Amino acid sequence: MYQSVKLEKGMYHLTGKSFLQALESVDPSEQYQDSPLAGLDAYERQLKRFDIRISGPACDRVEKFFSTTESAVLFPEFIRRAIRQGMETSILSDLTASEIRSESTQYVGCELTEQNGNYSITVSQGTSLPVSLINEGNTPLALTKYGRVIRASYEAVRRQRLDSFAVILRGIGVKMANSIVSKAMTALKEGAISTTAKSGNSLEYSDLAKLCGKFTNFDMTTLIASPSVMANIMTMEQMTETTKDISTGKIYLPFGAVLCKSTTLDNNTIIGIDKNFALEMITGTDLIMETDKLIDNQLDLISMSLQVGFRVIMKEAVHVLTI
How would you class 78 by CB atoms within 10 Å of its CB: exposed for 0-12, middle for 13-18, buried for 19 or more? Answer: buried
Tell me what pLDDT residue 89 has: 85
pLDDT at residue 157, rounded to an integer = 87
76/52 Cα distance (integer angstroms): 14
Ranges under pLDDT 50 in the chain? none
pLDDT in tens, 131-172: 888 888 888 889 999 888 888 788 888 899 999 999 999 999
Domain extents in the chain:
82-114+132-323
Which residues pair with residue 112 across a beta bridge?
134
- Among residues 321, 290, 322, 315, the alpha carbon closest in space to that of 305 is found at 290
Count other C-beta atoms under 10 Å from residue 318's C-beta: 27
Distance CA 110, CA 136 (A): 4
pLDDT for 31 equals 92
The pLDDT value given to residue 101: 87
**Residue 107, φ and ψ in degrees, nearest 5:** -135, 135
pLDDT at 70: 94
Cα angle 265, 95, 91 (rounded to 5 degrees) comes to 65
DSSP 255: T
Beta bridge partners of 34: none
Q: Go through 206-226 and write b for each residue having 16 or more CB atoms within 10 A of its CB, e for each that does not.
A: ebbebbbebbeebbbbbbbbb
pLDDT on residue 300 = 64
